[in-house]
Amino acid sequence: MSHRVRAEYDLVIVGSGIAGLSFALKVAEAGYRVAIFTKKDKAESNTNYAQGGIAAVTSAGDDLEKHVEDTLEAGDGLCDPEVVRDILRDGPSRIQDLVDLGVSFSSLDDGRISLGKEGGHSKRRVLHVQDVTGKAIEEALLANIAKQDVTLFEHYFAIDLITAKKARKLGVKVGGSGDRVLGLYLYDANRSKVLTVSAPVVLLATGGAGQTYLYTTNPSIATGDGVAMASRAGLPAMNLEFIQFHPTTLHSSDQDRFLITEAVRGEGVKLIDSQGKPFLKKYHPLADLAPRDVVARAIDREMKRSGSPFVRLDTPGMKGDFPARFPNIYENCLKRGFDALVSPIPVVPAAHYSCGGIPTEIDCSTKLNGLFACGEVACTGLHGANRLASNSLLEAVVMAHRGAERVCAFLDSRKKDNITLPDWVDGDVPASDERVVLSHNLEELKRAMWDYVGIVRSTKRLERARSRLLNLEREINEYYWNAKVDLSLLEVRNLICVAELIVRSALKRKESRGLHYTLDYPDLDEEAVNTLVPPLRR
């Protein structure tokens, strides 16, 4: 059985990254009751690990059309040009919002904002706070959230949405004939109980799904929860085959993959092969500042050609002060035994960012009435087949602003429901009794995705991955419906769901484009469009 929250909320947000916090702040300022549920600590999110910065046109030597052109070029033909222009046009205003909230972007000695340059950008336009931009933005947002009437619940895991369609199947009388959000079930990790929460609007801001892969830059929380929940609620997924592998993460003997921001190469550091020679010029005219998909595939090819498990970043060759510009990276490399001033840093690609997700409109709304999505969990049309570096934080703040306005209008016009939501029914088997099954399933999932759905793919590899995932799905579903839920079980269930959606998306794309490169279809298909895969049936 589940227990209930006594207070009612106008908006429930799942996730506490830049998207969720920005959204909450604006809706709360309009006078609505907002609750944020986050599965770990409030500051634990992909935002908190974002090093590079936030891209926007803020200098006289840059303009909107250049930023639009760079974004469309990186997206390899699948960006929505209207969405791109709308989001990028709003960028400077949303940057000012962050400054007003207390974000202090790094400046040059003369007082001007320090602008970095990353792969795919034709101009310096990346605002940053040294190399801890995401952390600085997160801290500013949390400080301002504390001043608003926002209830923030830590260690609550969103299990599933409660929809009108689902409630009717369970015998609950719900007015109208269409489907809509009524609330959601959440697992309280502190008390090991399931909570039932009513809300007319739910925002999914759960971030990405990097933990589907063996090696990733993402924190442990990035388990694709929002996409999985939306799929189980009947929504399709869009462009999930486009998984961005960050080209440069610190190589280590374990699964730890500390991110080395692309801004390092923006400051002149070159990637070198096992012979100490720069190699990217032969793959792209922009060499070390080529788009991420090009760089990741080039590194993959160089490693396979040489047999080396990594390439290197020639950090001693940087003309500027590396520790001053990248203090977080410098200290973390030192902790792992690498002095960036003395020797080149060994790096490898790792799963980084999902360019696909839940399809949304420009106001964050989805096809399910009352459900909104913002941030990495959403697919707006901005990124296309490959994300331009540092456009993600910008997308989050712009879309949160637009989405908050839409939610306020939605709440103003809605008719209130008086519906008693169906209680949660748990299984009988303690999850701890089968913990070994979960760990084995998770290990097999990550290995299969890394080996078969990585930087370079083939139909045979994808089919092998699908076969393994179907077996894992059967096992986890049998386990889920009989066991008492806990955090590990819920995360593995979501990871398997999202991994299956990724593979299905990849199998549908019969071409190589952006982040999806397959040996069986190496050429671009000019007629190809965005990939939509229907929800998984459960």
| pLDDT surpassing 80 at residue 41 | no
Put the strands of the sheet holding 54-55 in their side by side order: 54-55, 126-127, 115-116
Q: In the prediction, which pLDDT does 47 show? A: 55
> Which residues are CB-neighbours of 411 under 8 A, at least 6 positions away?
10, 11, 32, 200, 201
| Chain position carrying tokens 């001007």 | 112
Provide mean pLDDT across the span 407-414.
Answer: 92
Backbone φ and ψ for 532, nearest 5 degrees, come out as -120, 125
| pLDDT surpassing 60 at residue 300 | yes
pLDDT by residue (tens digit) across 304-319? 889 999 999 999 988 8
Q: Which CATH architecture has domain 250-348?
A: Alpha-Beta Complex (3.90)
In terms of Cα–Cα distance, which of 198, 203, 205, 206 is closest to 163?
A: 198
Catalytic residue among 94, 257, 265, 292: 292
pLDDT by residue (tens digit) across 152-171? 999 999 999 999 999 999 88
8 A C-beta contact, residue 519 and residue 492? no
Quote the crossing angle between the two packed helices 64-74 and 81-101, to the nearest 10°: 120
Local structure of 28: helix, strand or coil? helix
In terms of Cα–Cα distance, which of 376, 370, 369 is closest to 400?
A: 376
pLDDT band at 433 (very low <50, low <70, confident <90, very high): low
Q: In the prediction, which pLDDT does 4 show? A: 47
- CA 516 – CA 455 distance, rounded (Å): 7
Where, residue-wise, is CATH 3.90.700.10 in the chain? 250-348
pLDDT band at 30 (very low <50, low <70, confident <90, very high): very high
Where, residue-wise, is CATH 1.20.58.100 in the chain? 431-523
The DSSP string of 216-237 is BSS-TT-S-HHHHHHHHTT--E
Say which range, 70-74, 175-179, 394-398, 428-432, has the weakest mean pLDDT: 428-432
- Percent of the chain past pLDDT 90, that is, above it, reads 75
Q: Can you give the pTM of this predicted structure?
A: 0.92
8 A C-beta contact, residue 159 and residue 427? no
| pLDDT surpassing 70 at residue 48 | no
> Which residues are CB-neighbours of 400 under 8 A, at least 6 positions away?
18, 19, 20, 22, 23, 26, 364, 374, 375
The widest CA-to-CA distance across the chain, in whole angstroms, is 71
Q: In the prediction, which pLDDT does 431 show? A: 59
Q: Which long-range contacts (CB under 8 A, 24 or more apart) does 92-99 make?
A: 92/56, 92/57, 92/58, 94/56, 94/394, 94/397, 94/398, 94/401, 95/54, 95/56, 95/58, 95/127, 97/397, 97/401, 98/54, 98/137, 98/140, 98/397
8 A C-beta contact, residue 452 and residue 462? yes
Say which range, 174-183, 373-382, 494-503, has the weakest mean pLDDT: 174-183
Q: In the prediction, which pLDDT does 388 show? A: 94
Residue 419 identity (one-letter amino acid): I
Q: What rounded mean pLDDT belongs to the chain? A: 91
- Percent of the chain past pLDDT 70, that is, above it, reads 94
Q: In the prediction, which pLDDT does 478 show? A: 87
Local structure of 89: helix, strand or coil? helix
Where, residue-wise, is CATH 3.50.50.60 in the chain? 2-241+355-413
* Radius of gyration of the CA atoms of the chain, in A: 23
| Token pair recorded at residue 414 | 């809605």
| pLDDT surpassing 60 at residue 7 | no
pLDDT band at 177 (very low <50, low <70, confident <90, very high): confident
Q: In the prediction, which pLDDT does 181 show? A: 96
| Chain position carrying tokens 């809605």 | 414
- CA 244 – CA 391 distance, rounded (Å): 13
Backbone φ and ψ for 311, nearest 5 degrees, come out as -115, -175
State the number of CA atoms in the 13 A half-sphere of 490 facing the CB: 23
- CA 496 – CA 295 distance, rounded (Å): 28
CATH 1.10.3470.10 for domain 431-523, yes or no, is no
pLDDT by residue (tens digit) across 84-130? 999 999 999 999 999 999 999 999 888 889 999 888 899 999 999 98
Q: Which CATH architecture has domain 2-241+355-413?
A: 3-Layer(bba) Sandwich (3.50)
Residue 528 identity (one-letter amino acid): A
Q: Is 457 a catalytic residue?
A: no
Kindly list the distances between the CA atom of residue 138 and the CA atoms of 87, 126, 298, 325, in Å, as whole numbers in the listed order. 21, 17, 33, 20
